[in-house]
A and B are shown apart, each in its own frame.
Chain A
């Protein structure tokens, strides 16, 4: 698209002024001087954008970055034509979801044939795959009286993928204490002898103790120790108070929680553990297909983190966080903005669970499960959840990404409050994994889960 730019109005006015004043004052020098602005006007009028031939190449430095990592992007635009371009301006098509954290995706240069222009910048990675748009290019002639705007499709990398690719299996050597089955104290079908009882009509013939019948002529039924499969339930706390970020462009607490859950789910599925996944705090519009009737997003995925249901849930958390951060950007909110909720009233004085999320979650949990809660612990809700779970004898682990690491006073206060909550969590008996964002989640989990699994 080419358009003319009228930028010589002042030279036109200057020409007219000089001619007029030159005539009025009878000054030949002034009259002749009108040729100078006129020269600019004429040069501008006859200037055209030269035909151009540009090639672009984009390189994304990190193949599979962790969410929150800055990723270097390099864009090189080369003048492959045979004419010099005095004014080439390029803007790389950064995905709108990603924030530029270093450098600028814009550049400008004068390119002789064969010359190239390099633009380097860094974006903050987020979970998912984000396609770059084509590079916008603007070319002007020397007089800048015409602008040609075009797009160039760069070679090389066209997307930034921040997927949950497991470079190593951090938990492969860790054994879950209750992987597979859990012996119970109730009798039924099973392998291990539990008790005998009087025969009741309908008992399977195979479980009648025939020896005893031969001795005493009484029918008795043998009961074996009943075995149940153990479930690990991963609870992602994605309520609005968790959707805050330590700095602009960084993933929110909810997104980091989801990311940690995704890593653990992947590891559990490799260890053949039956795992369920749920997220609290999502709205109906966040999840494709909507929430369950009880208002929870609950999936029992087959195939671990790669399963479509699990992916749908993680995407839901991300879209909820994106919706909230868009609103927070408008108000300049950061980690301190969402800490207002103190969780009071989650559990009433008489022990009745008041919080709807908590009530639904407790109703939905299988009777034999170990629960792993992922929450940035920015309000009292995770503490109340852990307390309720421990009161019902659920083994509980809390994984908490720390999004309060900032220099501001509000963030320091939020960090202090979070620390107190983490201590409360340990006091109620939950196993705690405090994920400091400067180190990968794998290290934090390996250090803490190994202990958990050897219980």
Chain B
């Protein structure tokens, strides 16, 4: 069979991966942030795997499930590479001895963090270049999968936090500002609906709850496949009878609501007591203000709505193939698994995380952080905090994938060379920021050569794979090309060394004329590049 494919050739891919990994490792080691960078690198590789599995055509359900499960490790890696790096660097670089050093230290910290971010992006680019798995479709699917996985933990975390806040507002009458109003409204709603004062009959809300419960129960009975199951048996008629009874009951109760409004709000208690007999009045008051029947009605409504939702979902799913159902449900199932896992490990993880951050932060920041976080944990509880944090981590993964997708969608990156493009651009960025931090000239120039070579060899291999096929028959040509281009890089590096040697003494970094000269050089260079294009 012909080996003609759109995949890049093996040799080129191997060169791209090796060059990227080596350069990224050297640069990250040069700035001394190993742990967060390693986590970020693992996250980048997992992100590439998630993009790959999201694009599986044949085993779509399994691919989507794997992609969903990888979303959390990807998010953790990205957060470690960014926030983790900043925390670690802050612990090393701060406190500064004088205020004048503050700005330069902040620049140094930012540049070092950008080196780590760039290295992580380069590792991701090199990994997706293997097999050329990144394109608009896979990026879109990975984004959608990550988004769906994120929904449950984030929603639950926010709901838990909101619940804590609302419970606080409700239980404290001395909360200032908006909190007081929210608390009052909440208290009013819960009182009216679930715990009305037992001084007179409270028919309106009781009948309202009853009407909704009856309607929902009837709809739920209709939605369930009971009549199909009971077809031809006496139960079928019984079910029909129950539904009919529920219908008429709901009609009657609904019709009773206006009368209840009249009696509740227009008729004074004393007159009502007089018009009804006192015994009936007491009975009605006891029945309509008791908490138990109202709770029963409320839970009937909740259960009925849940049943209706589940049945509607199943009805939609049953019309699809098993693979599509799996692909649709997998992200939500993964989200549910994340929720369960988070619930189990929330406490230990939170305390370990707080300890690590407090120990890492420099000087006074550590104890202050411990104090503040203790207050926050006490208020919200560990579960709500960790659940929201997990949701936020998944949000970071989703945002990263969305950015990737949008970059491909706007054609800033070509589908064909997306991986090597990302790797090369990220290596450029890493090298540039490493240069700002002040790595040795050899490492800097070597990284720059590697950045160009990664692009050159990757693009060459992709074109070769497209035109000839991904076999090993073209290895000699690829090696000849790579060696030749490495030699060009050597010439460039020699020139750069010469320029640098002359420039160190020649450029006093002050004075308007020098700046003007540099701007002129930049403008000339841009003009040259435009002319070349």
Contacts and interface: CB of A to CB of B under 8 A. Distances in A.
Contacts of A43: 488
B533 A6 contact: yes
B324 to A, nearest CB: 20
A187 interface: no
Contact of A36 (B469, B484, B493, B525): B493
A32 B455 contact: no
Interface string A124-152: 00000000000000100011100000000
Given A40-B456, A43-B488, A33 B448 contact: yes
B367 interface: no
Interface stretch (A16-24, A340-348, A417-425): A16-24
A45 B477 CA distance: 21
A412 B414 CA distance: 46
Contacts of A26: 509
A27 B522 contact: no
B481 A142 contact: yes
Given A30-B432, A35-B495, A142-B484, A109 B525 contact: no
Nearest to B488: A43
A175 B449 CA distance: 82
A191 interface: no
B293 interface: no
B411 to A, nearest CB: 12
Nearest to A88: B477
A39 B473 CA distance: 30
Nearest to B420: A10
Interface stretch (A96-104, A255-263, A433-441): A96-104
B262 to A, nearest CB: 71
Interface string A73-115: 0000000000000111101000000001110111111100000
B32 to A, nearest CB: 19
A109 B444 contact: no
B497 A106 contact: no
B503 A107 contact: no
B428 A17 contact: yes
B4 A104 contact: yes
B452 interface: yes
Contacts of B433: 21
Interface in B1-15: 1-4
Interface string A232-255: 000000000000000000000000
A363 to B, nearest CB: 47
B242 to A, nearest CB: 50
B65 to A, nearest CB: 27
A188 interface: no
Contacts of A303: none
Given A21-B435, A33-B435, A142-B485, A14 B497 contact: no
A194 B30 CA distance: 116
A18 B438 CA distance: 14
B3 A27 contact: no
Contacts of B476: 109-110
A33 B456 CA distance: 18
A334 to B, nearest CB: 16
B477 A108 contact: yes
B192 interface: no
A27 B495 contact: no
Nearest to B451: A14
Interface string B271-290: 00000000000000000000
Contacts of B449: 36
B431 A33 contact: yes
A332 interface: no
Contacts of A143: 485, 488
A182 interface: no
B328 to A, nearest CB: 26
A86 B481 contact: yes
Interface in B472-488: 473-474, 476-477, 480-481, 484-485, 488
A28 B424 CA distance: 22
Nearest to A43: B488
Interface residues of A, number: 57
B441 A20 contact: no
B522 A35 contact: no
Interface string B454-467: 01100110011001
Residue from the set A6, A9, A26, A87 with the largest chain B CB neighbour count within 10 Å: A87
A41 B455 CA distance: 13
A21 B484 contact: no
A101 B428 CA distance: 44
A32 B485 contact: no
A39 B495 contact: yes
B425 A40 contact: no
Nearest to B427: A14
A87 B497 contact: no
A259 to B, nearest CB: 25
Contacts of A91: 467
Contact of A28 (B421, B459, B471, B503): B503
B504 to A, nearest CB: 5
Nearest to A84: B480
B471 A19 contact: no
Contacts of B522: 16, 19-20, 23
Interface string B497-533: 1011001100101000000001001100110010011
A7 interface: yes
Contacts of A25: 435-436
B156 interface: no
B375 interface: no
Residue from the set B441, B445, B484, B492 with the largest chain A CB neighbour count within 10 Å: B492
A12 B473 contact: no
Contacts of A22: 435
Given A32-B499, A33-B435, A104-B469, A19 B525 contact: yes
A38 interface: yes
A36 B468 contact: no
Contact of B525 (A16, A101, A105, A142): A16
A39 B448 CA distance: 11
Contact of A37 (B2, B448, B491, B500): B448
B459 A30 contact: no
Contacts of B464: 89, 108
Contacts of B4: 104, 106
Nearest to B526: A16
Contact of A32 (B481, B503, B525): B503
Contacts of A30: 432, 435-436, 444
B489 interface: yes
B496 interface: yes
Given A13-B425, A28-B507, A108-B473, A18 B432 contact: yes
A4 to B, nearest CB: 10
B1 A110 contact: no
A13 B491 CA distance: 20
Contacts of A15: 525, 529
A11 interface: yes
A1 B341 CA distance: 62
B441 to A, nearest CB: 5
Residue from the set A14, A27, A29, A39 with the largest chain B CB neighbour count within 10 Å: A29
Contacts of A27: 435-436, 438
A31 interface: yes
Given A10-B455, A108-B467, 20 more contacts: A12-B529, A17-B428, A18-B428, A28-B500, A29-B444, A30-B432, A30-B435, A32-B499, A33-B445, A35-B495, A37-B492, A39-B491, A86-B480, A87-B481, A104-B468, A106-B2, A107-B473, A142-B484, A142-B485, A143-B488
- State the 10 A-B residue pairs at the shortest beta-carbon distance, nearest first: A39-B492, A32-B500, A36-B492, A32-B499, A35-B496, A108-B474, A30-B435, A26-B509, A28-B503, A142-B484
28 contacts: A7-B456, A9-B533, A10-B452, A10-B455, A12-B532, A13-B428, A14-B428, A15-B529, A18-B428, A19-B522, A23-B518, A27-B435, A27-B438, A28-B503, A29-B444, A33-B444, A33-B500, A34-B496, A35-B492, A35-B496, A36-B445, A38-B525, A39-B495, A40-B488, A86-B477, A86-B480, A143-B485, A144-B460
